Homo-oligomer: A and B are copies of this chain.
Amino acid sequence: VATQGSGTRVAQRPSGDVATAARQRTEHPPRYDLRPGSPDLSAFPRSAWLSAARRALNKAPYEAFGYSDPRGRPELRAALAAYLARARGVRCDPERIVICSGFAQTFRLLCDVLTRQGARSLALEQFVEPTTDAVSAASELNVRRLPVDEAGAVTGQLSDEDAVVLTAAHQFAIGVPLARHRRAEALVWAHDTGGLIIEDDYDGEFRYDRHPVGALQSLAPEHVVYAGTASKSLAPGLRLGWMVPPAHLLEDIVTAKTVADRNSSAIDQLTLTEVIASGGYDRHVRRARISYRRRRDQLIATLRQRAPEAEISGIAAGLHALVTLPAGLEEHTMVERAGARGLAVTGLRKFAAPADLPSPALLVGYATPPPHAFTGAVARLCAALDG
């Protein structure tokens, strides 16, 4: 029996904003772009992808073109299980992987399952990717924000929430990994309360200064959903992500996926399988890591020289740096000044909880521009910081 008259719904504020932003990004791409959240799209390995598509189309059984296992193609789940164990230390079995359309869908399905199981509240970090905010705002879950400091999310403040989303390898805005004691506190919370940890490992492949931080999931696979994506390692346009949920959630997630869209695109899945199996995925990530580290170094060197009063942090990993603005410079002023120079930048406040007013800063996505536009983008950033 359907629930009737359940009263006022969640306001849709952020979702509409996110949809509008995505549309504008397509219709009016800026000349220079240092917004965070995107790899260098001009580096997408088109010919490697096409060769992999040829191999995939040649060898696919014809059943692959039909309605398929809602968890995703078995070929891709097998390739990912091996890759995730090796590259991210994830403990998983191909039977327990669910392929989704990016992290957005992974998180949406988890919100659906949690709500259906009676969950009422969810904790997000103080700073999150706007789509994460939009998806949770569109759910019926009450959202609490966990403060974030130089050790990552303050997991000691978790209490009776049903789930928490943690960017454990690299806090989305601040750029720090979740410290060892914070990991321990999150795991104790999950163990004691039955709360679910959703590990958003959006850019775990990109760590520059030391060994990768392994997945939190490996410590407690029955309390953590590991969520990965090809959006940063290859391209968001692929809309391919994956999750490794605890066994007790698998059936409900499969049902949620089925009533969301049955399964994800078969040809993309089979092509990604070939890209991983041929070593092309590792090669691309390695090349991208070298390129982004160089860009990061160039960004730091240029800012230190031309805008020494701007503080840079969160640089050990990921695709963006946090640049704290010089005293007296507001984010919106900086966004306007950059815009006047053809450069799109994003202030930290866009990623903060509505009531939160962090110190004025930019999240500088140094991976975003194509190579020919990178130096020009950084020069315009410095010029805008200068006034």
Taking beta carbons and an 8 Å cutoff, which residues of A are in contact with B? 1-4, 6-12, 15-16, 18-19, 22-23, 25-27, 29, 37-38, 41-42, 44, 46-47, 49-50, 53-54, 57-58, 60, 62-71, 74, 100-102, 104-105, 108, 116, 120, 131, 134-135, 138-142, 235-240, 251, 254-255, 257-268, 370
In the complex, A131 Cα to B63 Cα: how many Å?
19
Cβ–Cβ < 8 Å partners of A261 in chain B: 100-102, 104-105, 108, 239, 260-261
Indicate if the CB atoms of A26 and B238 lie closer than 8 Å.
no
Measured CB to CB, the nearest residue on chain B to A368 is: B66
Indicate if the CB atoms of B251 and A265 lie closer than 8 Å.
no
Interface centre among A57, A101, A135, A259 (most CB of B within 10 A): A259
> What distance in Å separates the Cβ of A78 from its nearest Cβ neighbour in chain B?
13
Top 9 A-B residue pairs of the complex, sorted by shortest distance between their CB atoms: A237-B266, A101-B261, A65-B235, A105-B261, A6-B6, A65-B237, A26-B69, A19-B258, A41-B62
Measured CB to CB, the nearest residue on chain B to A46 is: B57
Measured CB to CB, the nearest residue on chain B to A137 is: B259
In the complex, A374 Cα to B105 Cα: how many Å?
38
In the complex, A10 Cα to B7 Cα: how many Å?
17
Indicate if the CB atoms of B9 and A116 lie closer than 8 Å.
yes
Cβ–Cβ < 8 Å partners of A101 in chain B: 101, 261-262, 264-265
In the complex, A282 Cα to B372 Cα: how many Å?
41
Indicate if the CB atoms of A262 and B63 lie closer than 8 Å.
no
Cβ–Cβ < 8 Å partners of A57 in chain B: 46-47, 49-50
Cβ–Cβ < 8 Å partners of A238 in chain B: 65, 265-267
Indicate if the CB atoms of B62 and A44 lie closer than 8 Å.
yes
Indicate if the CB atoms of B239 and A29 lie closer than 8 Å.
no
Measured CB to CB, the nearest residue on chain B to A235 is: B65
Measured CB to CB, the nearest residue on chain B to A20 is: B254
Measured CB to CB, the nearest residue on chain B to A122 is: B2
Cβ–Cβ < 8 Å partners of A140 in chain B: 2-4, 6
Which of B37, B58, B70 is close to A22, meaning CB atoms less than 8 Å apart?
Answer: B70
Indicate if the CB atoms of B62 and A262 lie closer than 8 Å.
no
In the complex, A18 Cα to B267 Cα: how many Å?
22
In the complex, A7 Cα to B259 Cα: how many Å?
21
In the complex, A101 Cα to B265 Cα: how many Å?
8
Indicate if the CB atoms of A66 and B10 lie closer than 8 Å.
no
> What distance in Å separates the Cβ of A26 from its nearest Cβ neighbour in chain B?
4
> What distance in Å separates the Cβ of A150 from its nearest Cβ neighbour in chain B?
30
Cβ–Cβ < 8 Å partners of A47 in chain B: 57
Which of B1, B16, B108, B237 is close to A64, meaning CB atoms less than 8 Å apart?
Answer: B237
Indicate if the CB atoms of B264 and A239 lie closer than 8 Å.
yes
Interface centre among A8, A22, A71 (most CB of B within 10 A): A22
Of the A-B pairs whose beta carbons lie under 8 Å apart in the complex, a sample of 14, sorted by A's number, is A1-B142, A18-B258, A41-B64, A47-B57, A49-B57, A50-B53, A53-B53, A62-B370, A66-B237, A104-B258, A108-B259, A131-B258, A131-B259, A267-B268
> What distance in Å separates the Cβ of A163 from its nearest Cβ neighbour in chain B?
14
> What distance in Å separates the Cβ of A107 from its nearest Cβ neighbour in chain B?
9
Cβ–Cβ < 8 Å partners of A37 in chain B: 67
Q: Given A2-B140, A22-B68, A63-B29: A262 and B235 within 8 A (CB)?
A: no
In the complex, A97 Cα to B80 Cα: how many Å?
34
